[in-house]
Amino acid sequence: VSQVGSRKKVKGVGEMTVGNSWAWPSKLPGKVTMKLMVELADRLAARVQDSSFSGDPLQITHQIAGLRDSVSAEMVQEYKIAEEIPKLAAMVAASPLEAAVHDAFGHVHGKNSFDLMNVDYLNQDLSAYLGEEFAGKYPSDYLSPKPKPTMPLYHLVGALDPLSKEDIKSRLNDGWPETLEEWLKSDGLTHLKIKLAGNDIDWDVGRIVEVTRICEAVAPERNWKLSFDFNEQCPNEDYVLDLLERIERLSRLSFERLQYIEQPTPRDLTQRSEMTVHRISRLRPVVIDESLTDFESLRLARKRGYSGLALKACKGQSECLLMGAAGAHFNMFTCVQDLTCIGGSFLHSASIASRLPNVTAIEGNGRQYCPIGNEAYMKRYAPMFRVRYGTIPTELLDGPGLGFEWQPLKEDS
């Protein structure tokens, strides 16, 4: 990236886990969808490098989004794929490129890129992307001037994750906690995201009650919080309402500690318009995740009753800034989640969360499932990957670019 009127050129870096099984559920083999997403990312990087794209980061990434859609269609035709590349998968493929643009923009000016999202550095206000309702507004109007000093970390309780030692047939003994009980003790966890079936209410209720029992047994003094992720599997709104009624009756503490509910309905909101979540939203925030791919999908989600949104770095830095602004404007509950992010991609995700005033915690499960991916960053950012008292020190993310030093910069230089 070079600055107009200057010979100064800088390098921006971005990275992201592919996450094809999440972004592209398909009848195609997983190795095929992964290969296609990686190729899409490579093609986009090559095209952008050869392009004459110019402007501020929001303008450039807006141009990249148009290119992303055309290259996706080009690949479908070229390889005669029996289905389109989902927009969500294309967004994930393009997200490292978006991150690199914002990272480079910060380095061009020797500042944190979040500090440049204002009238002094951007050529257009938010109305160019979100409509006249946002005239005169800039992303900076919805960002904190500094990262939060610390943030609680949401730990994932997967459907197959052992909760206690009785759930383990054979220990791995790899030096990491192997049960929820052990994680609670080692990291002082205060926030837990519970993955649920969404189509087996007895199992879901039992899982929630058992997680709560373990939390109370290990750390009754902690003011811990829960979120429920149904993975789009609920048949209807009544399923969630019935579950909440049973939870409140069987384990009132589980109900009281519930912070939000994530995407109970299928991601395609244009189908089955009768599947709304208005009644659930009266009880707790209901967060749109997989469905959130642009401003129109956010508007549709609000009509369906969704009262919150989940931002993810894997959907693109610009998309996070725009949807974060829209969520704040509409007074929606906002959270930042990850895609089993490791290393720099996790630091990027945490940097986003640390700058959004209404985000109270950061999700991070890469340290649970692939901790070796964080090793390159341990020397400088170890506290970000070693959770203490349930929190991480996001104040470390105040450097130039996206707030931290990407390890690949050192390796490639």
Write down the pLDDT at residue 360. Answer: 97
What is the average pLDDT across 329-334?
98
pLDDT class of 412 with cuts at 50, 70, 90: very low
Encoding tokens for residue 203? 């199992």
> Which residue in this structure is represented by tokens 């061009």?
108
Encoding tokens for residue 321? 């800034």
Say yes or no to pLDDT of 366 above 50: yes
Cβ atoms of 330 and 384 within 8 Å: the answer is no
Say yes or no to pLDDT of 8 above 90: no
Write down the pLDDT at residue 411. Answer: 46
Say yes or no to pLDDT of 351 above 70: yes
Cβ atoms of 158 and 174 within 8 Å: the answer is no
Sign of the CA dihedral 325, 357, 374, 368? negative
Q: How far is 136 from 126, CA to CA, in rounded Å?
A: 7
Q: What is the pLDDT of residues 246-268, one digit of tens each?
A: 999 999 999 999 999 999 999 99
pLDDT class of 4 with cuts at 50, 70, 90: low
Q: Domain boundaries in the chain?
A: 20-140, 151-412
Q: How far is 106 from 292, CA to CA, in rounded Å?
A: 27
Q: For the stretch 366-387, what's the b/e string if a residue is b when 16 or more beta carbons lie within 10 angstroms of its beta carbon?
A: bbbeeeebbebbeeebebbbeb
Say yes or no to pLDDT of 3 above 80: no
Q: What is the pLDDT of residues 383-409, one digit of tens each?
A: 999 999 999 999 999 999 999 999 754
pLDDT class of 5 with cuts at 50, 70, 90: low
Q: Rounded to the nearest 5 degrees, what angle is found at the Cα of 273, between the Cα atoms of 323 and 24?
A: 55
Strands (E), 76-221: 151-157, 191-195
What is the average pLDDT across 319-332?
99
Write down the pLDDT at residue 212. Answer: 98
Q: How far is 361 from 153, CA to CA, in rounded Å?
A: 6
Write down the pLDDT at residue 409. Answer: 43
Angstrom distances, CA of residue 397 to CA of 113, 151, 209, 317, 362: 11, 12, 36, 15, 13
Angstrom distances, CA of residue 29 to CA of 35, 270, 271: 10, 26, 25
Say yes or no to pLDDT of 1 above 70: no
Angstrom distances, CA of residue 408 to CA of 235, 267, 411: 44, 34, 5
Q: What is the pLDDT of residues 60-101, one digit of tens each?
A: 999 999 999 999 999 999 999 999 999 999 999 999 999 999
Write down the pLDDT at residue 266. Answer: 96
Q: How far is 296 from 116, CA to CA, in rounded Å?
A: 26
Write down the pLDDT at residue 410. Answer: 46
Say yes or no to pLDDT of 312 above 90: yes
The mean predicted confidence, pLDDT, of the chain is 96
With 0-12 / 13-18 / 19 or more C-beta atoms within 10 angstroms meaning exposed / middle / buried, residue 93 is buried
Residues across the chain: 413
pLDDT class of 7 with cuts at 50, 70, 90: low
pLDDT class of 272 with cuts at 50, 70, 90: confident
- CATH code: domain 151-412 is 3.20.20.120
Strands (E), 123-206: 151-157, 191-195
Q: What is the pLDDT of residues 182-194, one digit of tens each?
A: 999 999 999 999 9
Does the pTM of the predicted model rise above 0.75?
A: yes
Q: What percent of the chain has a predicted confidence (pLDDT) above 70?
A: 97
Q: Which of 167-171, 269-273, 294-298, 371-375 shows the lowest per-residue confidence on average (mean pLDDT)?
A: 269-273
Q: What is the pLDDT of residues 64-74, one digit of tens each?
A: 999 999 999 99
Write down the pLDDT at residue 9. Answer: 83
